C-alpha cells in the first residue's frame, strides 16, 4: 500500500513533501509573560478535526467526507454512506504502522483510488462519490476483504473493518487514546442556580434489551453516528469508565461542514444491578431539573420506570465547556424511551460564541430535538437495533 514518496500530490511538489512534518504542534516559547489559562481560547481552537489526522491531512479528509456525503443534496443523503467513509479512512489509519496520524502525503493513496471517480458525472454528481464507488475504492485501497467486512457486525468495531474476528479482538483502542492528549475531567462546578439544566425530547426505542445490548458494547457506538456527530471509544472494556472522542460537524446543510472534537468519560453508571443507586440517580436528576431547570419537564414522566442512567463528563476544551450530559433509558406505558439530559456551567466567552454561531442547533438535533433521523444519534440507534 505504500506509494513512491517522491510522487507529486495534487499541487504539492516532491520537494515540498519532504518538508511536510508528520504532525505539527504549536511551539511553546521558552519564556512567556502571561500564560493562557488551561482550557482557554487557544487550546479550544486546537480541538479541530479528528485525533487521527494531522493538520496537514485535515483538508483532504474533509474533502473525502464531502465527496462521500456532505456534497450530496439533502434528499439524496444516506447516513450509512457517511459511516462507511469514516470507516474507510479510519481503517486505513489503523492498518498503517507509522506515522501515528494521517498526513498530507496520505492524500496520494486516496487520490490514486478516488480522484478519477469524483469527476465521473455519469455515476455521480461532479465532485461526489456513490456508495458503490466508495466500496470499490476501499477494496483497492485496503483489500478485497473490506466490503464484506464492513457489512459484517462481527468484523466491524471502533469504526474499523477488520479482515477477521481474531484481528478485531486484538485491536487496542488505546492506540487512538495516545493521540488524544486527554485533559483533566471538567465537571460543572458553578453554583447550581447558575448552571444550565436541560433535557431533550425522548426518542422511542424498539426494546429495552436492544438498547442495553447496544450501549453496553462501546465498540459499536460508531455504528450509531449521525450526520452531525459520532462517538468513538478510546479504552477497552465496557461502559463504566469508558472515554469517547466525540467528532461533531456544524453547517452540514450547506455541504460545507466545520468539524471539531471533544472528549467525555462515563463517570457514573446506574443500573438495576444496584436498585438503591438507580433510585438515587434518578431522584437527583428530577430534583435538579425541578429546582434549577427553566420549566424543564421531568426526565421520566409520571408512571414511567427508570431502567439505566449514566453520566458523560467533559474533559478540558470540550465544545460545550464544563459539565456533563446524561443518557437515560426508561419505560412508560409499555414502551422504551431514551433521552439526554445535561448540566453545564456558564460557558467561557470563546466557547459561548462558537456554540451560538455553529453548535447550538447541531447539539439539539444530535440528541433528537426536531425528530430529524439523519441528524440524531438516538434516532440512528433506534433504526440500527430495530
In a domain, 320, yes or no: yes
Contact by Cβ (8 Å): 338, 224: no
- Asked if 267 and 324 sit in the same domain, the reply is yes
Q: What is the pTM of this model?
A: 0.85
Instruction: Quote the radius of gyration of the chain (alpha carbons, Å).
Output: 21
Say yes or no: 362 and 298 in one domain: yes
- Please give the residue range of the domain that contains residue 152: 14-24+47-171
CB 328 within 8 A of CB 298: no
Residues 156 and 192 in one domain: no
Grid coordinates representing 114? Answer: 478516488
Task: Give the pLDDT score at 125.
Answer: 54
- Spatial contact of 340 and 326, defined as CB atoms under 8 Å apart: yes
Q: What is the reported pLDDT for 279?
A: 98
Structure confidence at residue 97 (pLDDT): 78
**In a shared domain, residues 270 and 292:** yes
The answer on 190 and 135 residing in a single domain is no
**Do residues 246 and 129 both lie within one domain?**
no
pLDDT score for 38: 40
End of a domain among 171, 192, 214? 171
- pLDDT (tens digit, 0 to 9) for every residue of the chain, 386 residues total? 333 433 333 334 444 344 433 333 333 333 333 333 444 443 433 445 789 999 999 999 999 999 999 999 999 999 999 999 999 999 999 999 788 999 999 999 999 999 876 645 555 556 899 999 999 999 999 999 999 999 999 999 999 999 999 999 999 999 999 999 899 999 999 999 999 999 999 999 999 999 999 999 999 999 999 999 999 999 999 999 999 999 999 888 888 888 889 999 999 999 999 999 999 999 999 999 999 999 999 999 999 999 999 999 999 988 888 999 999 999 999 999 999 999 999 976 555 555 555 556 778 899 999 999 999 999 999 999 99
Pair 98, 160 in one domain: yes
pLDDT score recorded for residue 27:
35
61-96 residues labelled b (16+ CB within 10 A) or e (exposed): bbbbbbbbbbbbeeeeeebbbbbbbbbbbbbbbbeb
Task: Among 149, 171, 193, identify where a domain stops.
Answer: 171
pLDDT of residue 206: 99
Let me know whether 148 and 199 are in one domain: no
Count of domains observed in the chain: 2
CATH of the domain at 210: 3.30.530.20
Same domain for 131 and 246? no
Q: What is the pLDDT of residue 126?
A: 66
Residues 355 and 238 in one domain: yes
The number of beta carbons lying within 10 Å of the beta carbon of residue 174 is 13
Amino acid at each position: 500500500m505504500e506509494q513512491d514518496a517522491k510522487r507529486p500530490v495534487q499541487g504539492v511538489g516532491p520537494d515540498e513533501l519532504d518538508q511536510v512534518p508528520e504532525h505539527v504542534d504549536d511551539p511553546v516559547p521558552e519564556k512567556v509573560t502571561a500564560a493562557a489559562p488551561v482550557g482557554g481560547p487557544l487550546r479550544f481552537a486546537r480541538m479541530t478535526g479528528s485525533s487521527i489526522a494531522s493538520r496537514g491531512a485535515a483538508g483532504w479528509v474533509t474533502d473525502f467526507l464531502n465527496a462521500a456525503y456532505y456534497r450530496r443534496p439533502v434528499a439524496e443523503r444516506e447516513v450509512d454512506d457517511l459511516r462507511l467513509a469514516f470507516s474507510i479512512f479510519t481503517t486505513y489509519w489503523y492498518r498503517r504502522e507509522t506515522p501515528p496520524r494521517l498526513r498530507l502525503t496520505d492524500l496520494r493513496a486516496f487520490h490514486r483510488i478516488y480522484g478519477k471517480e469524483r469527476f465521473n458525472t455519469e455515476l455521480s454528481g461532479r465532485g461526489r462519490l456513490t456508495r458503490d464507488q466508495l466500496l470499490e475504492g476501499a477494496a483497492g485501497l485496503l483489500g478485497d476483504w473490506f466490503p464484506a467486512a464492513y457489512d459484517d457486525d462481527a468484523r466491524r468495531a471502533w469504526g474499523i473493518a477488520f479482515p477477521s474476528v481474531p484481528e478485531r479482538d486484538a485491536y487496542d483502542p488505546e492506540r487512538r487514546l495516545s493521540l488524544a492528549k486527554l485533559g483533566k475531567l471538567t465537571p460543572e462546578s458553578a453554583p447550581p442556580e447558575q448552571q444550565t439544566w436541560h433535557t431533550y425530547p425522548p426518542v422511542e426505542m424498539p426494546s429495552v434489551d436492544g438498547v442495553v445490548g447496544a450501549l453496553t458494547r462501546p465498540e459499536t457506538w460508531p455504528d450509531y453516528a449521525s450526520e452531525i456527530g459520532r462517538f468513538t471509544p478510546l479504552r477497552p472494556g465496557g461502559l463504566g469508565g469508558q472515554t469517547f472522542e466525540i467528532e461533531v460537524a456544524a453547517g452540514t446543510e450547506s455541504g460545507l461542514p466545520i468539524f471539531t472534537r471533544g472528549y467525555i468519560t462515563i463517570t457514573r453508571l446506574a443500573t438495576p444491578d444496584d436498585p438503591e443507586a438507580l433510585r438515587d440517580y434518578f431522584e437527583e436528576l428530577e430534583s435538579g431539573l425541578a429546582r434549577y431547570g427553566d420549566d424543564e419537564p421531568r426526565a421520566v414522566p409520571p408512571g414511567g420506570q427508570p431502567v439505566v442512567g449514566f453520566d458523560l463528563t467533559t474533559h478540558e476544551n470540550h465544545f460545550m465547556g464544563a459539565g456533563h450530559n446524561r443518557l437515560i433509558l426508561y419505560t412508560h406505558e409499555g414502551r422504551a424511551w431514551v433521552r439526554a439530559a445535561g448540566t453545564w456551567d456558564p460557558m467561557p466567552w470563546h466557547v459561548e460564541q462558537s456554540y451560538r454561531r455553529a453548535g447550538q442547533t447541531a447539539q439539539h438535533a444530535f440528541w433528537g430535538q426536531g425528530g430529524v433521523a439523519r441528524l440524531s444519534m438516538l434516532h440512528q440507534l433506534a433504526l440500527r437495533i430495530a
